[in-house]
Amino acid sequence: MGSLAGRTALVTGGSRGIGRGVAERLAREGALVAVHYGSNREAAEQVVKGIRADGGRAFAIGAELGVPGDAQALWAAFDAALAEHGEGATGLDILVNNAGIGAHGRIHEVTEADYDRVFAVNVKAPFFIVRQGLDRLRDGGRIINISSGATRIAFPAITAYSMTKGALDILTLTLAQDLGPRGITVNSVSPGIVATDINPWLADPDAHAEAAAYSVFGRVGRPSDIADVVAFVASDDARWITGQTLDATGGSSLGV
């Protein structure tokens, strides 16, 4: 029996990258996992297939985030899929707000449209996913927001993106206070640079070496590095941690 047996989890953006790693890890711990995707259904179905092949339980749900009605569409898809594939399971225990997009550019390069888009996907969507999911989330549950080390380390080239993660951390802090009486913990997990599709520039060997040098361990992060931290936060062992941001950057930019 895994540490999350009997629990139901929803991982937004579970079809690729960090979210995929999180979905697979939570499923290995015994959770029934809703693997959310935006447009790449095939990728989400592959994740579900892999989880089932390993003896886990999962199903895919699609909903584009960052557009009007996104949270409503996501929960409608979740409810319908849970009724179909959940073997009687109802409600939710673990919500991982992972789906997100980047936004490159120093402040003078960011357009209003870029700004609105990154805030719509990275901040507004998780806010309303939580708001509309609260009556589904069971007491004693978990909300885990995937933030970024860019809230601790200044990267002028991604100012707007970093601001979205700062906002997410404040959501974490504030919700933790609000949901404490229900025994629900709310935490952020902040990755450093992780090798996923969001960072295509890592294909350049020089850029890769520069990124690896940020971590005291001298390498770029892997989705499993982050998934293992999320699994801990999701577990009963982390019951006394709430309102926190867990730095999972491999000790990036710790000092001179």
For ligand NAP, the binding residues (CB under 6 A) are: 13, 15-19, 37-40, 43, 64-66, 98-101, 121, 146, 148, 191, 193-194, 196-199
Q: Which is nearer to ligand NAP, 41 or 239 (CB)?
A: 41
Give the active site residue among 37, 115, 161, 214. 161
Q: Which is nearer to ligand NAP, 40 or 138 (CB)?
A: 40
Q: Is 199 helix (H, G, I), strand (E, B) or coil?
A: coil
**d(C-alpha 145, C-alpha 13), whole Å:** 12
Work out how close the CB of 35 gets to ligand NAP at its nearest, in angstroms, rounded to a whole number.
9
**Any idea what DSSP says for residue 158?**
B
Q: Which is nearer to ligand NAP, 81 or 138 (CB)?
A: 81
Q: Which is nearer to ligand NAP, 23 or 31 (CB)?
A: 23
Work out how close the CB of 99 gets to ligand NAP at its nearest, in angstroms, rounded to a whole number.
4
Q: What are phi and psi of 221, to 5 degrees?
A: -70, 160
Q: Is 138 helix (H, G, I), strand (E, B) or coil?
A: strand
Work out how close the CB of 146 gets to ligand NAP at its nearest, in angstroms, rounded to a whole number.
4
Residue 48 contacts residue 251 (beta carbons within 8 Å): no
Sign, CA torsion 169/134/185/85 = negative
Work out how close the CB of 94 gets to ligand NAP at its nearest, in angstroms, rounded to a whole number.
16
CA 56 to chain centre: 20
> Residue 57, exposed/middle/buried by CB under 10 A (0-12, 13-18, 19+)?
middle
Work out how close the CB of 14 gets to ligand NAP at its nearest, in angstroms, rounded to a whole number.
6
From residue 154, how far is each of 105, 168, 211, 226 by CA, in Å? Answer: 13, 17, 14, 21
Q: Which is nearer to ligand NAP, 15 or 242 (CB)?
A: 15
**d(C-alpha 131, C-alpha 22), whole Å:** 22
CA atoms within 13 A on the CB side of 218: 0
CA atoms within 13 A on the CB side of 163: 19
User: 37 catalytic, yes or no?
Assistant: no
Catalytic residue numbers read 161
